[in-house]
Copies of this chain bind each other. A is one copy, B any other.
């Protein structure tokens, strides 16, 4: 609750001595820095968004049915520009550049998010599944039409009974050897496919995930190309229901699918990782069904990378509006009796907005790293000699975690910015209505954020062992119980990083207290050392608690349940370290100059605000004295004051096109 409490106001003390310079920001240069190597494609998308900005108004004024058609038209039109298929092979009309495809998608999040999600459904989920899980026969048959938007389709994985636990799906595909067909059936009362984009109105085909049964044996979840509409009507045996009104994203036609013995030919199996041969034999290069399933899922990781980036970019819109508003809106007399005070000159307002602004920059940099890794893993451009499988598993974990952080950040930032714009923020014309309603489900789709953080923790605790993905909670507990805590920590590699703490934390060794000098607060090595310490300590604590619970004879599930919030905390600590590292690394790349000074301020604010928020933990674990904790709060406030004159430029650098920013009365004085 309290920050900065019981601390005397002392202008000398609260400004840091070695950083008195106020930088002048070259906004275009900062935009170029953020846009990075995909600046061109980002600009292409921005131009498209500006041209299509009317869709934001239509979202408010049209009926649901009309708006769905409108969004479909926009998506198909955008497909014509090439921006939606950057990640597909060139021979099918794609751009052949995975990194560019992520950049394009992220940037779409500055505009209407139904358009974004419909693009994601069509080109990411549906098209991505055909590309990644299918083989040449599927590519030849479908990809060109998918890329052009001629063939719209669904990614039918989620079922109402099983959202996150995909391995337990209740849809079954039984192989009929005689007919050489699969018979697809929704077996349980809760086994209908739900929330499926493109299902309620526009999809013709669906990639359906179902338990494959061959010769009476269940082979685990596989994917099948299934026609769901013929001439606009549900195909025989397919029942379709509309999901109806949703909180947001009403331009996307989500629906439900039931299959009543729908027959598809043997070739409909997306057979990159497993096949049923013409003589009716099941064959896969991956023997273990769990491993097979997670290998398949792993190829779809791009969806998570994209959603995380979308959350971060949607946050940019919100923070841009809130900062611009606070730069002209005055309320109450404060420093002068002649004129009311600008909102942004209030310390509280700075405290509300600037840590979110700094974090948006931080997450942007972290997302860049993830998108780069994705590109390298899927384009075969990893460094020579790299362990490709390990890189893939680490990528999956990092994508999951960055998705969780990026989407929670969107929820939080949009809410805070709406409130910071008062009643005006409630009007649809001012963007927050759509931003809030549309992004809300980002924390859930492409994996519930808490489930994703558990995945991250599992990766850490098992050092991304090749079996880690198929371990369930029980498996994880048993695995951890079989190791020593030291082994776990050693394997994570965090420990190695900690060696350096001794050199950078005032007061000496990691176990001694940080002392009371705050000379080191703005040293990135100090900041990183704190984040690393938290990561190692939290992770070791989880391992210890899991082991102890098992040793004491408790049910492993019960042990997991009790330690669960600690598991989540460990994942967060890990991810926050990765985010900070990415941010610090980006700052370190910059040549000396004003841009670097500005960037460093943001890094410091992000890093110290993160420590401040979790300062209870640091105190509880002997890494922070109460005096130093208070000094950090003072420094955060001081950094906010230093960022104040730069704030307008810092949001302008996000380069949100004015046409999609809208908010006419918020972004400029009336």
Q: A residues within 8 Å of B by Cβ? A: 1-11, 60-61, 63, 158, 160-165, 168, 189-190, 194-195, 243-248, 331-337, 340-341, 345-348, 351, 411, 415, 418-419, 422-429, 432-433, 436-437, 440-441, 443-445, 448-450, 472-474, 534, 537-538, 540-541, 544-545, 548-549, 552, 554-566, 568-569, 572-573, 613-617, 619-622, 626, 629-630, 637, 665, 670
Which B residues lie within 8 Å of A665 (CB)?
160
* Distance in angstroms between the alpha carbons of A10 and B429 in the assembled complex: 55
Pairwise interchain contact B247-A621, C-beta atoms closer than 8 A? no
Pairwise interchain contact B569-A3, C-beta atoms closer than 8 A? yes
17 contacts between A and B (CB under 8 A): A5-B538, A6-B545, A9-B562, A160-B424, A160-B670, A165-B340, A190-B670, A194-B423, A195-B423, A195-B426, A247-B432, A347-B564, A348-B565, A426-B441, A615-B616, A616-B619, A620-B626
* Distance in angstroms between the alpha carbons of A449 and B418 in the assembled complex: 13
Pairwise interchain contact A617-B428, C-beta atoms closer than 8 A? no
Which B residues lie within 8 Å of A424 (CB)?
160, 194
Pairwise interchain contact A541-B6, C-beta atoms closer than 8 A? yes
Pairwise interchain contact B428-A247, C-beta atoms closer than 8 A? yes
* Distance in angstroms between the alpha carbons of A541 and B614 in the assembled complex: 22
Which B residues lie within 8 Å of A419 (CB)?
443-444, 448-449
Which B residues lie within 8 Å of A621 (CB)?
5-6, 626
The smallest beta-carbon distance between A426 and chain B, in angstroms, is 4
* Distance in angstroms between the alpha carbons of A472 and B331 in the assembled complex: 11
Pairwise interchain contact A1-B613, C-beta atoms closer than 8 A? yes
Pairwise interchain contact A163-B422, C-beta atoms closer than 8 A? yes
Closest to A424 in B: B160
Pairwise interchain contact B548-A427, C-beta atoms closer than 8 A? no
The smallest beta-carbon distance between A184 and chain B, in angstroms, is 21
Which B residues lie within 8 Å of A423 (CB)?
158, 163, 194-195, 441, 444-445
Pairwise interchain contact B163-A347, C-beta atoms closer than 8 A? no
A sample of 12 more A-B contacts (CB under 8 A), given A9-B563, A10-B548, A161-B670, is: A2-B565, A8-B545, A162-B331, A163-B422, A244-B427, A245-B428, A245-B433, A247-B427, A333-B474, A333-B557, A336-B557, A418-B440
Closest to A192 in B: B670
Chain A's interface: helix, strand, loop or mixed, by majority?
helix
Pairwise interchain contact B335-A548, C-beta atoms closer than 8 A? no
Which B residues lie within 8 Å of A194 (CB)?
423-424
Which B residues lie within 8 Å of A245 (CB)?
60-61, 427-429, 433
Pairwise interchain contact A614-B572, C-beta atoms closer than 8 A? no
Closest to A1 in B: B614
Pairwise interchain contact A1-B617, C-beta atoms closer than 8 A? yes
Pairwise interchain contact B552-A9, C-beta atoms closer than 8 A? yes
* Distance in angstroms between the alpha carbons of A339 and B615 in the assembled complex: 40
Pairwise interchain contact B548-A163, C-beta atoms closer than 8 A? no
Which B residues lie within 8 Å of A348 (CB)?
450, 561, 564-565, 568
Q: Which of B3, B9, B629 contacts A548 (CB 8 A)?
A: B9
Which B residues lie within 8 Å of A415 (CB)?
411, 415
Q: Which of B247, B425, B445 contacts A437 (CB 8 A)?
A: B247
Which B residues lie within 8 Å of A445 (CB)?
423
Pairwise interchain contact A554-B246, C-beta atoms closer than 8 A? no
Pairwise interchain contact B9-A549, C-beta atoms closer than 8 A? yes
Pairwise interchain contact A552-B10, C-beta atoms closer than 8 A? yes
